[in-house]
Amino acid sequence: MIVNSDNQSISHVLPELGIRETNPSFITGQESGESPGGQLLDVFSPIDGQKIASVKMIEETEYNQVVEKAQKAFDFWRKKPAPYRGEIVRQIGVALRKYKDSLGKLVTYEMGKIYQEGLGEVQEMIDICDFAVGLSRQLYGLSMHSERPNHRMYEQYHPLGIVGVISAFNFPVAVWSWNAMIAAVCGDVVIWKPSEKTPLTAIACQNIIKDVLKENDLPEGIFNLVIGDAKIGAAISSDKRIPLVSATGSTRMGKKVGETVAARMGKSLLELGGNNAIIVTENANIEMAIRAAVFGAVGTAGQRCTSTRRLIVHENVFDQVKKRLLDIYPSLSIGNPLEEGTLVGPLIDKDAVNSFTAGIKKAKEEGGEVLIGGEILEGPGYESGTYVKPSIVIAESNFEIVQEETFAPILYLIKYKGGIANAVEIQNNVRQGLSSSIFSDNIQETEYFLSHLGSDCGIANVNIGTSGAEIGGAFGGEKETGGGRESGSDAWKVYMRRQTNTINFGTELPLAQGIKFEI
């Protein structure tokens, strides 16, 4: 519930997305009036430090109302044919196209990524809608041959129920849509808890979807929104009425969610930390590698789970790579991400800035050499205190700080000697396993990287960077990244329950494995 908005910088965008000073509550499904709500959550823009709005957070009694509403909606929604559910998702995609510019601008203003990335995030939502529409006619099971005569055996998938989605600030709408649109065509309903740092984009999405549901005489409880702190996330994780919890965020948070959900025998889909590397061999196209590394390291101000954090470079081309990076970094345009030409926006808040500076300090203490950057920017345009100069640090792979994920634009430049096996060993020697890349024009190196001996990450790319995944492929990683898979390929299966069916169309009752049981 928006109760007041003080900032005029994007005042024309907020009403267009249904965000007004007095807004009907879509938290509890009331048609009019104010939500009783809990304490106020002030929402600030990292761009200028100004308050955008205040939001009333949900209370426990309201949370239970949401779950009950979702249960009722699930009983209705699961009975609809999957292609019909796909048609509703198609209409959501059409609506998102209509509001792409405004929603992209709100993503930028609330989160801080440059406007082109804000538009790209909304495009991801549109793309996943398109993918889900096709998927609604392809929820395939398998048919298998039975060992018993006159028997047919097959498997099918059924809707799972309520899917709880806990999303992070860095992709405030896209990652939710990966879950929500796939879950919807599978026959599930969704309860979404966005990050407390970016609730307004979630409210805007809910308003857009609410109109589509209303036009089709569908219950609002198919898509639900709960705004709250960590207590609400814990409530979702421990709620036996929610069979699947999809959580995106830090490894520390994911471990808590995974343990809580597992304790009640629920299912969890975890998309957690990344400590992603690009390997640059002596056979690489250096200019391509540099372009990929720079975008991967400073895009979204280093706040992507797929951001490039380690650049592992062969000793024969190390100096060349270092020189090109030092040529480019001083020219990076840092500033207001809504302005054309800006390449690096702010970090999300001052806590993130503190992590950035602490990471650089730790690297220096361990013997790292800061080549460039690391400063907090001050002066006109930087009053929010959330702008920093992206940094490059020459480091060793065994530094403690290199083993961690610092959610900020720090690129560790690491030299390797010998063959591709040595580079892969360095890459894999971290606790996380999300995204990885190699730049090489040598097929023996690239094929080794992609083999079972190579990258241990969920995503392994050749001659492209670590970030910028398309929705058609399953997204996720191994080790402390959590093992989850979202978006494309057969990731839809986690949102459904699998059932194996055997039909006897004969007149005898043979047992499997040739067991004899005569009565």
List residues with catalytic annotation. Answer: 271, 305
Q: Is the dihedral of CA 238, 243, 247, 251 positive or negative?
A: positive
> In this structure, what token pair is assigned to residue 511?
């047992």
CA distances from 306 to 224, 260, 435, 457 (A): 28, 26, 6, 11
CA 54 to chain CA centroid, nearest Å = 25
User: d(Cα 87, Cα 104) in Å, to the nearest integer?
Assistant: 24
Question: Are the C-beta atoms of residues 271 and 441 closer than 8 Å to each other?
Answer: no
The residues, ordered by sequence, that sit 6+ positions from 37 with a Cβ below 8 Å of its Cβ are: 1, 25, 27, 56, 57, 58, 59, 62
Question: Are the C-beta atoms of residues 288 and 320 closer than 8 Å to each other?
Answer: no
User: d(Cα 349, Cα 335) in Å, to the nearest integer?
Assistant: 15
Give me the half-sphere count of Cα atoms (radius 13 Å) on the Cβ side of residue 447. Answer: 3
First-to-last CA distance in the chain? 68
User: d(Cα 256, Cα 355) in Å, to the nearest integer?
Assistant: 22
Question: Are the C-beta atoms of residues 295 and 307 closer than 8 Å to each other?
Answer: no
Q: Kindly give the pairing relationship between strand 162-166 and strand 244-248.
A: parallel
Of 168, 218, 159, 172, nearest to 497 by C-alpha is 159
Q: Is the dihedral of CA 73, 78, 81, 85 positive or negative?
A: positive
DSSP per residue over 246-312, as a string? EEES-HHHHHHHHHHHHHTT-EEEEE----EEEEE-TTS-HHHHHHHHHHHHHGGGG-STT-EEEEE
Of 363, 365, 299, 303, nearest to 332 by C-alpha is 299
Neighbours of 428 (CB within 10 A): 15
For residue 127, the SS3 value is: helix
User: d(Cα 271, Cα 434) in Å, to the nearest integer?
Assistant: 9
